[in-house]
Amino acid sequence: MRDSERRPWSIGDIGIRFLILGLAALLLMALQVTGRLEPIQSAATQLTSPAQVGATSVTNNVTDAVDFVFELRRLRQRNLELEQINSGLLVENFELREVERENQTLREMLDFAQTRPGLELRGAQIVARVIGRESNNFLDYIMLDLGQTHGIAVGMSVVTDQGLVGRISEVTESWSKVLLITDASSAVNAILQSSRLNGVVRGSPSGDLVMDYIPQGREFSIGEVVLTSGLGGRVPKGIPLGQVTEIRQRDIDVFQQAVVQPTVDFQRLELVMIVTNFDPLENVPDMLAPEVVPAGEPSPEEGALPSEEDAAADNAQREAP
Amino acid sequence: MNRGALYYVMIPLLLVAGLLQSTAATRIEIRGVKPDLVLLLIIAGTLVYGSRPGLVWAFIGGIALDSFSGGPMGASSLALMAATLAAGLGHRTLSRYNLLVPLGAAAIGTAIYGLTYLAILFVLDVFNIVQHRVPLVEMVQYVLAPAIAYNTILMLAAMPFLNRLPESQDI
């Protein structure tokens, strides 16, 4: 049929198409919420995982190459001879550098595991590879190449040697999704290392973390390290979360807040560890031992601190008009 | 019948863009905001071919996005379809060769896509179906506004390519 003979389409045509596709999208949403989409999602992911791994690998290589080019330019400006030798060696060892970097990460992770014997980590398959990242700007998730068949379950903590990354939010047979601590929905019970004040660390759209529910009248300082408190028993105790960069204190508020810079570099996440089991009573390593609390002051463990769920619910109420 | 090359390769392009969105796009983030490659592709397609095929691309592109997302399946499809309707409004009446049309479509499309997606998350959270906290003001300030600027600049960069595509017939 020639185009000129086509019936010009109307708003009704588009409306019907929008309605049908919209209903299909809602149906998919309902199927996912009820868990009936999981087999299809799992199968689809098994198909797309190799492509995702490949794309991630290519992206890493391209990024390395771009970084390398910039580095090359600077080196050329400083010393042409050294640059020529350097570029030859780097090209030759390009793949070896990748392996070396991975080895370094693994060594650091091994050291992390040895300093925290209370965490049961997944033996040889302790390390999961980040195969994908959240596709939109409004959520913060990553996808890992381990799933139910590797013993991964919803709620498990995900860490690197730098600190807490997040928690497993969704698992299929062969892959899992991790809700990062920077997501606005995330809430983790935390403690300030020096002042021993408890609070709840939430993610925020700005990319920083916000430690909330810090009692009024208690002093803490910028630069303090924030650790997981282990309260609630869902996340191991003593895992670094970040460092305080700003204190928000207003007399009219019930609690103080602290803006926390995460210790984990979320831009460069490649390998992570999944804590499959841990002893909730694990002692914090010596270097993280609590300081002496001044006499007469309440213990930081005292008082009813809101749970992570309560905090999330409370946050939702605060946001409501 | 001259539909142009883009029409026929649109679906494979969308799938590749969805894959790149979850892998490569994070490497070109600016202050934590990455470009919406799938959205831009659909807006470009809609400017050339109109809303009718655009809606189908939006649905497929949304599924590709949600496959690599922690968000609810179908939410991106609905948000992209809303953006497509907005981008396609001027398909017959405005010339896409006018600089302001693609830039406006990218800006308005991104805004509608973002607000629709956030609205879906908000509704699902309110009804306790899927829990995703949506701090709307912060999301708009730190995520949506920079994303509008980023996508608009990328659309400007894509203009020379877009202008080389032949004018489509109604499909």
The pLDDT-based confidence of B41 (bands split at 50, 70, 90) is very high
For residue A199 the two structure tokens come to 């609070």
User: What integer best gives the mean pLDDT of chain B?
Assistant: 87
* Residue of B73, B77, B92, B110 to mutate when probing chain A, most A C-beta within 10 A: B73
B23-34 exposure pattern, b = at least 16 Cβ within 10 A, e = fewer: bbbbbeeeebbb
Task: Determine the average pLDDT of the residues in A160-169.
Answer: 89
Does the pLDDT at position A12 exceed 80? no
Instruction: Give the whole-angstrom CA distance, residue B24 versus residue B143.
Output: 18
> Tell me, what DSSP letter sits at residue A268?
G
CA gyration radius, chain A: 24
- Inter-chain contact A17–B133, Cβ cutoff 8 Å? no
Q: What is the mean pLDDT of residues A273-299?
A: 52
Q: Is A163 helix (H, G, I), strand (E, B) or coil?
A: strand
Query: For residue A113, what pLDDT is reported?
Result: 66
Which residues in chain A (131-150) have CB-CB distances under 8 A to chain B?
Answer: 132-141, 143
Beta bridge partners of A201: A188, A211
Q: So what's the pLDDT on residue A241?
A: 92
A265 burial level (CB within 10 Å; 0-12, 13-18, 19+): exposed
Q: Decide if pLDDT at A87 tops 70.
A: no
Taking only the tens place, the pLDDT of each residue in B106-146 is 999 999 999 999 999 999 988 888 888 888 888 999 999 99
Give the integer Cα–Cα distance in Å for A118 and A116.
5
Other Cβ atoms closer than 10 A to A161: 20
More confidently predicted of A21 and B164: A21
ipTM: 0.83
Exposed/middle/buried for residue A10 (C-beta within 10 Å: 0-12, 13-18, 19+): exposed
A317 pLDDT higher than 60:
no
- Residue whose C-alpha is closest to residue A176's, from A276, A309, A58: A276
Chain A residues lying within 8 Å of B144, measured CB to CB: 137
Among candidates A27, A31, A44 on the partner chain, residue whose Cβ is nearest the Cβ of B67: A44
Whether residue B38 contacts residue B12, with contact meaning beta carbons closer than 8 Å, is answered with no
Question: pTM higher than 0.95, yes or no?
Answer: no
pLDDT of B88 > 80? The answer is yes
- Tell me which chain A residues have a C-beta less than 8 angstroms from the C-beta of B116: none
Q: CA of A283, closest CA in chain B: separation in Å?
A: 33
**What are A214-248's pLDDT values in tens digits?**
988 888 888 899 999 888 778 888 888 999 999 98
Q: With an 8 Å Cβ cutoff, are B118 and A138 in contact? A: yes
Is A226 in contact with A242 (CB distance < 8 Å)?
A: yes
**CA angle, corner A164, sides to A235 and B145, nearest 5?**
120
Angle B5-23/A38-78 helices, nearest 10 degrees? 80
What phi, psi does A260 have (nearest 5°)? -120, 130
Task: Fill in the amino acid letter for A25.
Answer: A
